[in-house]
Structure 1
């Protein structure tokens, strides 16, 4: 009974948020998942369905992280089969990627179809250095592929035809493919339809190991996508994701999604304001929301989580009056978060008083000033009085009053 570990979208070298510790999270997640679900489980092989790296050009430290994890598998005599994803495929105009380097250095087996335009067969067996498929002693034939982008449906038809022309092999067939299926996440253009993938099923593929979409899903008992190893954004933290521990037996396929490996805690909080609060009350509400989350255990300062707090709604003051940088620093200190993101998405309260078409200039000024003042939480209770004061101030200016006298007038008005 063949057993293997299927993972994808590892993204070693992830550098969003400009945090070295966050970059290490992706390494620790891979290291822990490999130890628990490959080495400890003594699987027959590990399949990486694209995007081992975050970038096509990687830093030395990122390459070292990959080698540390691959060495664990090498020492356990577990072969690693991989394909390139859209993040780590070869840069335009070059002949090799970092996955090709790792392959040539003996760390993994990179399964790449040939180029028929150059007279190469689409699928040739692995010869120790290159090839599009490999027959493993555990009784599985594993096929590779590329990142095809928009040309994926046409490529699938060609791959399926080439598979059917191959000599008979082991009883089970697995294919690594880096592309997304439609209907899984919003705002994803170019997703494949299920019918696009059916030729692979008809060609004998028992298990289609997908990558690319960072959310776990399965389809019809033969298509499996584990999701990303770690969340690449706050929004992705809502997705169920992990790695698949797979067993193929006479009854079919048993794929268990495993999630109990190292992952950084990510928490989202929200404060809704309605325009009645003062600036100080809005700041206090944000702090209270965080403190409540800590008391309930939702935010644990001991694990240095990633926290996002959203302030949404309307404010009764100039929205720029809130010092978001200062508040964010205060919230980060309270939460001891590795990364604290303060999202301030509010509108200023607006009032509009009805005016007749024959309103005089003085009436228009009075209503405009009143509306502006009523929208400000500090001045709204005196809006009518202060509006008249602004009109009087304008008149004093037209009369040529000295600046000192105008200043004194404003002081008296406000006091």
Structure 2
């Protein structure tokens, strides 16, 4: 087997609109919209500097079926750049950019192969000497919703000696945070005989299996608070023995964070402001040269909770931080090191002796014990939500949104309900909800 190197990327979502972020200036809004294209540029630079033989893109090149002309032109420009350096590009389309969506065709680019709606395999040649290096199998979404287990169509070719790569846009093992398109299991993929599954669709970077590798590279640029952390792609080096070595490379220009601010031992509004600004500086140091967007989740219990629950403290601080960020973005240094606070989420509570309440022979004690059991036992938690949300399920749109909620969100709802019960049943006056964002 000849050694070779390739890039595995997916979910480019070019020209994503970054909806739901309020208060930003026109300059910041333009920078955010440009960020997916900037990540694409970094992807091109990486492919050239690493001298890869080819690149595979596992679906969702565009963010929407009716992709903008700008997105299409920028992607075609990238394809031409890859071609100038002799880098082959192998593409499948996913649920955001299915084959039936209106867009420009890739044209007759010999170095580009777009897989169709039926499974097919192609043999690729190593760039430097045109020796056969690998077999790539793939299938694109013909329409936006594919509910068939398309992984069952993948079977190893007759060219047994070559490394086999599968391109699939799918939800493996039913990840609840994403729509269940092309559902399959790890065992389905393992039994196929392929050496490397280049997956797309799930935006969280993860290696599900080795021997064979089953890999989600995540998207190249986070687009919301659900997509925190570094985003990028994998460079994969395959040696003479067919062993793959994976190296992750960051490509994002905007990074999302969710940070906790505990108030347990906090005294006064000034201490809260200092804690927030200290965390912002830590983020700025961690992401030099990038713009960062952070959601602060206020946790713990303390005397500051009632004021935070009223909303005034967080709202005024948020306004001031936005004012400074807009001013900073207009300076020559621009967006390098800019930290934008997306929102404050009040998840704190008044000071109570929770352990003592859990032991109390009272309605509140029983309620807290019930809530604790629901958090720890999945069956009980599901039953709580089934009963609580039943009246809302008659509305189709609400039903869809509630069913798509991740476990983290559901646990958050449970915690908020418990805090409200503590406030009401402990004779604490209920505040204004503390909600500063637009969730």
TM over 0.5: yes
Kept after mapping to 2: 8 A contact 1:6/1:48? yes
SS at match of 1:291: helix
Name the structure 2 match of 1:110.
114
Question: Aligned pair in 2 of structure 1 residues 30, 192: CA closer, same or farther (>3 Å)?
Answer: same
Matched, 1:200 2:180: no
Kept after mapping to 2: 8 A contact 1:350/1:375? no
Matched, 1:74 2:74: no
Question: Aligned pair in 2 of structure 1 residues 302, 229: CA closer, same or farther (>3 Å)?
Answer: closer
- Unaligned stretches of 5+ residues in structure 2: 22-28, 127-131, 329-337, 358-425, 432-439
CA RMSD of aligned residues (A): 3.8
Q: Aligned partners of 1:258 and 1:7: how far apart in 2?
A: 10
Q: Aligned partners of 1:11 and 1:376: how far apart in 2?
A: 42
Alignment of 1:126-137 (within 5 A): 132-137=120-125
Alignment of 1:265-344 (within 5 A): 265-273=255-263, 281-282=268-269, 284-294=270-280, 296=282, 298=284, 303-312=290-299, 315-317=305-307, 319-322=309-312, 324-334=314-324, 336=328, 337=338, 339-344=340-345
Q: Aligned partners of 2:429 and 2:264: how far apart in 1?
A: 12
Q: Aligned partners of 2:275 and 2:81: how far apart in 1?
A: 43
Pairwise CA distance, 1:219: 0.8
Match of 2:140 among 140, 146, 164: 146
Alignment of 1:350-389 (within 5 A): 375=429
Q: Aligned partners of 2:322 and 2:344: how far apart in 1?
A: 13
Match of 2:11 among 6, 9, 12: 9
How many correspondences in the alignment? Answer: 325
Q: Aligned partners of 2:7 and 2:289: how far apart in 1?
A: 32
Question: Aligned pair in 2 of structure 1 residues 243, 276: CA closer, same or farther (>3 Å)?
Answer: closer
Pairwise CA distance, 1:76: 0.7
Name the structure 1 match of 2:69.
60
TM-score normalised by length of structure 2: 0.63
Kept after mapping to 2: 8 A contact 1:217/1:225? yes
SS at match of 2:274: helix
Pairwise CA distance, 1:260: 4.2
Question: Aligned pair in 2 of structure 1 residues 89, 323: CA closer, same or farther (>3 Å)?
Answer: farther
Q: Aligned partners of 1:242 and 1:301: how far apart in 2?
A: 16
Q: Aligned partners of 1:347 and 1:180: how far apart in 2?
A: 35
SS at match of 2:345: strand
Pairwise CA distance, 1:97: 4.8
TM-score normalised by length of structure 1: 0.66
Name the structure 2 match of 1:244.
234
Q: Which has the larger radius of gyration?
A: 1
Pairwise CA distance, 1:81: 0.8
- Unaligned stretches of 5+ residues in structure 1: 115-122, 124-131, 353-370, 378-415
Pairwise CA distance, 1:26: 1.6
Residues 259-278 of structure 1: per-residue CA shift (max 9 Å, x gap): 2445324343332346996x
Match of 1:32 among 19, 42, 63: 42
Question: Aligned pair in 2 of structure 1 residues 305, 79: CA closer, same or farther (>3 Å)?
Answer: same
SS at match of 2:67: coil
Residues 76-122 of structure 1: per-residue CA shift (max 9 Å, x gap): 121211000111114xxxx4553x712567783211143xxxxxxxx
Residues 192-225 of structure 1: per-residue CA shift (max 9 Å, x gap): 3212223422xxx222211111223141322222
Match of 1:47 among 56, 59, 69: 56
Alignment of 1:180-191 (within 5 A): 180-182=171-173, 187-188=177-178, 190=180
